Amino acid sequence: MAKLTVDRLDLSGRRVFLRADFNVPLEGERITDDTRITSVIPTIEHCLKAGASLVLASHLGRPKGKPDAKYSLKPVAARLEHMLDRSVPLAADCVGSAVREQAAALQAGQLLMLENLRFHAEEEANDEAFAVELAALANIYVNDAFAAAHRAHASIEAIARHLKPAAAGLLMARELAALGRITDGAERPVWAILGGAKVSDKLALVESLLAKVDGLLVGGGMAFTFLASLGHAVGRSLVESDRIGLARAVLERARSRGVPLRLPVDVVVAASPDNTGGLRTVSVREIPADLAGLDIGPATVSQFGAALSHAKTVVWNGPMGVFEKEPFAAGTLGVAKAVSECGAFSVVGGGDTIAAIQQAGVTSRIGYISTAGGAFLEFLEGRELPGVAALDDV
């Protein structure tokens, strides 16, 4: 997927429309995790050093197509000012004559942050006229919002038809290169680890991965639908009963392809995530009827680690249990340790999985940590991402 990248452009004296993903978690006006801001800094600094001015654009939250002060990008602009040690004024809107005047007045090395794109319903509708208005603010388009690249929105897809050249930012380029190492000619054996709550969110991904990987490890809540499909009594564990037949079919496909699909052999059970009554580790054949599986057990961690010890490439999305609750964290943290020690090129994606890697203290030993969630999964499924397809080829 050879796309034009920002480092191949002559930016001197040009005004760049930089679509970033500043959709950061907030408590009031306090940013609780600025990873998505930090990750775009290299592209911002590259553009400024090359003599460009920048119009920064992003969404934040779900304001439902109208202005809402609690979703203002004001905290992001303030954090960027601190990080860059230069002024980052926030426009009152993202389109309109006042914004056009502010953008036109920018000098080399100056920045302007547009207000939340989703304050206009036209953004998520991929409205052509709205995209034309955004395109009028600059003369180069750069998309560094891989985490939003699976959305066909006006600032991601339609704008690239009206603002050329349309290039990938440095973060976007790194994401595509890292994920490309998994999907195109990966060093084998390739193992995938999937977790999270619902199997329905990952069935398409499992199907896609069976054609690409040499082995698959499944934990988290989604594992119980697979276990139920094999006839195990899983107590009060999370099961999507309408997906049991599909889970059974996936297991059969894995067998027919000769791809090992490993499920937990033991689990940590309790009454609920907030009620540790009955807390203990049991075999998956002995889950009490009145308890729920909330983490994988130590035998499973050991077996998963043994499988990964032979891997050359590993991709991981989704925790192995309710890891944010201390009694149910050991499984996810154990897998994080195994991934970090296996010697393979590893790619980790999804907010919960990244949090687990950080909690385990192994961030520096992971090959690549993706900023994306949905886009990460859709890329691995082999689906075309509108925000990537819209960029110029080289």
For the stretch 235-271, pLDDT in tens is: 999 999 999 999 999 999 999 999 999 999 999 999 9
Q: Is residue 391 in some structural domain?
A: no
DSSP annotation of 115 reads: P
Could you tell me if 120 and 43 lie in one domain?
yes
Residues 6+ apart with CB under 8 A from 251: 226, 229, 230, 261
Catalytic residue among 351, 367, 373, 382: 351
Is residue 259 a part of any domain in this protein? yes
Last residue of a domain, one of 144, 175, 206: 175
Which spans in the chain are helix H? 35-38, 41-49, 74-84, 97-104, 121-124, 128-135, 170-183, 203-209, 222-229, 244-257, 298-308, 330-341, 351-360, 374-381, 386-389
> Do 258 and 191 belong to one domain?
yes
| Residue 222 structure tokens | 């989604």
Average pLDDT over residues 112-135: 98
Could you say which of 157, 175, 193 is where a domain stops? 175
Average pLDDT over residues 134-161: 97
Tell me what pLDDT residue 203 has. 86
Tell me: do 192 and 171 sit in the same domain.
no
Residue 36: active-site member: yes
**pLDDT greater than 80 at residue 185:** no
In the chain, the percentage of residues whose pLDDT exceeds 70 is 100
- Is 309 a domain residue? yes
Residue 209's domain spans which residues?
185-381
CATH number, position 246: 3.40.50.1260
- Which residues have CB under 8 Å from 77's CB, separation 6+? 88, 89, 90, 113
**134 and 246 belong to one structural domain:** no
Given a cut of 90, whether residue 109 has pLDDT beyond it is yes
pLDDT for 153: 98
Residues 145 and 199 in one domain: no
Confirm whether 325 is a catalytic residue. Answer: no
In this prediction, residue 202 has a pLDDT band, given cuts at 50, 70 and 90, of confident
Look at the block and give the residue holding tokens 């050879």. 2
Tell whether 394 is covered by a domain.
no
Domains held by the chain: number: 2
Are residues 223 and 356 part of one domain?
Answer: yes
163 and 116: one domain? yes
Q: Nearest to residue 333, comparing CAs of 306, 353, 303?
A: 353
> Backbone phi, then psi, for 15, in 5-degree steps?
-110, 120
Whole-number average pLDDT of the chain: 95
Is the same domain home to 153 and 205?
Answer: no
CA distance 291 to 376: 33
pLDDT at residue 232 is higher than 70? yes
Mean pLDDT over 358-373 rounds to: 91
Q: Which range is least confidently modeled, 35-49, 134-148, 201-215, 278-292?
A: 201-215
Active-site residue (options: 61, 65, 374, 382): 374
- Which pLDDT value is given to residue 270? 98
Angle at CA 361, nearest 5°, toward 84 and 303?
Answer: 140
Q: Which of 74, 100, 198, 248 is catalytic?
A: 198
Asked, for residue 386, whether it belongs to a domain, the answer is: no
Same domain for 116 and 190, yes or no, is no
Same-domain check for residues 50 and 160: yes
Is residue 377 included in any domain, yes or no? Answer: yes
**Is 193's pLDDT higher than 90?**
yes
Q: Does 352 score more than 90 pLDDT?
A: no
Q: Is the pLDDT of residue 183 over 80?
A: no
Do residue 312 and residue 165 come from a single domain? Answer: no
Q: How confident is the model at residue 284 (pLDDT cuts 50, 70, 90)?
A: very high
Where a domain ends, among 132, 148, 175?
175
| pLDDT score, position 380 | 84
Shared-domain flag, residues 144 and 237: no
pTM: 0.88
CA dist 28 and 72 (Å) reads 11
pLDDT of residue 1: 59
pLDDT of residue 275: 95
Strand pairing class (292-296; 280-283): unpaired
- Domain membership of residue 310 (yes or no) is yes
387 domain residue, yes or no? no
Check pLDDT > 90 for residue 374.
no
Instruction: Examine the pLDDT at 20 and tell me if it is beyond 80.
Output: yes
